Amino acid sequence: MLFRRSTLRLASLCTHVSTQRFASTKTLKETLQEVIPAKQEQLKSLKAKHSQKVIGDVKVENIIGVPALKRLLPAAPGGKEIIAESMLWLLLTGKVPTEAETRQLSRELAEKGDLPTYVEKLIDGLSPSIHPMTQLGIGVAALNHDSEFQKAYESGIKKTEYWTHTLEDCLTLIARLPALAARIYRNIYRQGAEAPAIDKDLDLVGNYTALMGYGANKDLTEYLRLYISIHGDHEGGNASAHTAHLVGSTLADPYLAYSAALFALAGPLHGLANQEVLRWQLAMLKELGGNITLDNIKDYLWKTLKSGQVVPGYGHGVLRKSDPRFIALQEFCDTRPDLLKSATIQLVKKTYQVAPGVLTEHGKTKNPWPNVDAASGCVLYHYGLTEFKYYTVIFGVSRALGALTQLVWARALGLPLERPKSVSMDTLQDMISKGA
């Protein structure tokens, strides 16, 4: 489907954005008001003139843009890593934000970031034994009580106005996710700990770590800035982003659409992968003890495969080379001496040296290269965030950037209700036998 959120669109943005920045006082909404009419006309022209044309194959090398993003997008004051606000601006507008625009968006999100009392009471009333991802989905769904889109739709707004109210909901949801996710963290793992007030001068992730109780951990904050930014966009075929698109195509408000996406993300084959990698790495570390050699890691890999298990963190449904997000996290580790001394991080790096060869020799993996999960949870663990079940919540906070952006554009472009189609195996067999 046209304009589904995808790495293809992100790559296009990386390819075409101007590297020149201009001083600007425009808001994100004002910038979108300038950008959307041109995109609407472009879509109309494409459908009218070229709807039947095949555009050919796309290579992996054409869709990787993480290094360019790290060079172009603004960081937090005093930091080096790109932040969620600059990524969000790029995803929504296709433009690299100025420092002023990024700071303005950070303040806007901080001002919208407090949770309503009814959601605080709802989350506080949940049993700590309920999985944190379940709690996050419940909280996001409940926030639809305040949906501007839902209220406007019921009042009879024009279709051309759908995107503006959707944007308001999306920005409010993104703004409130840190407070919601942090409250879940404290209720489950830090019961009784008081949370600070949202700091209007901090960026989204700076407030998130402070609300969790890690505000003094500057290294973790910088890592999460990078982690959340590069996890924000993803190919449109992944389960969570596609779920948000599918539910959003019914004109459900962004809170309901994204709560559905979170429950898709909670599955072991999707967002839980990073915690599975860490469990496997720690088990290997325990078995090998201090004798971490390439040969010993290779033997452990073969032991895992021969037991009928997969090697977690390796393979990707789309990419056929090392995930650029994995490389970005490796580069982050390479700049920090404490991480280079970490046994867990060293194990990740050495596993990367031998795993592709073992998997290629094994012959049952289409893509023997690492994905981002091969490193992401291990760095969180090193910095003291050791609660495995919570890792997917952080993923959920990050994935909102891309999944919610696609809702704004779907409404701006008037994309239709998605109607999945299926056929039975008997029908497929009949088509095959007839040479269809």
Residue entry with tokens 């590069």: 230
Q: Give exposure, 274-311, as e/b (b: 16+ Cβ within 10 Å).
A: bbbbbebbbebbeebeeeeeeebbbebbeebbeeeeeb
User: Of the listed 253, 316, 323, 382, which one is catalytic?
Assistant: 316
The tokens describing 171, both together, are 């920005």
- Residue 124 is predicted with a pLDDT of 97
- The residue ranges of every structural domain in the chain are 1-50+66-269+390-416, 273-382
Which stretches of the chain score pLDDT less than 70?
1-24, 51-65, 234-237, 317-319, 436
The yes-or-no answer on residue 373 being catalytic is yes
- Contacts of 66 by beta carbon, 8 Å cutoff, 6+ apart: 230, 324, 325, 327, 328
- Residue 236 is predicted with a pLDDT of 57
- Residue 24 is predicted with a pLDDT of 56
CATH number of 1-50+66-269+390-416: 1.10.580.10
The tokens describing 100, both together, are 């002023």
The tokens describing 319, both together, are 């990419």
CATH architecture of the domain 273-382 equals Orthogonal Bundle (1.10)
Q: How far apart are the first and last CA of the chain?
A: 24
Beta-carbon count within 10 A of 99 CB: 14
| CA gap 320, 311 in Å, rounded | 16
User: Of the listed 169, 233, 323, 373, which one is catalytic?
Assistant: 373
The yes-or-no answer on residue 338 being catalytic is no
CB 76 within 8 A of CB 203: yes
CA 104-105-106 angle, 5° bins:
90
The dihedral through the CA atoms of 57, 420, 12, 260 has a sign that is negative
- Residue 367 is predicted with a pLDDT of 83
Query: HSE of 21 in the Cβ direction (CA atoms, 13 Å)?
Result: 16
The yes-or-no answer on residue 299 being catalytic is no
DSSP 130: S
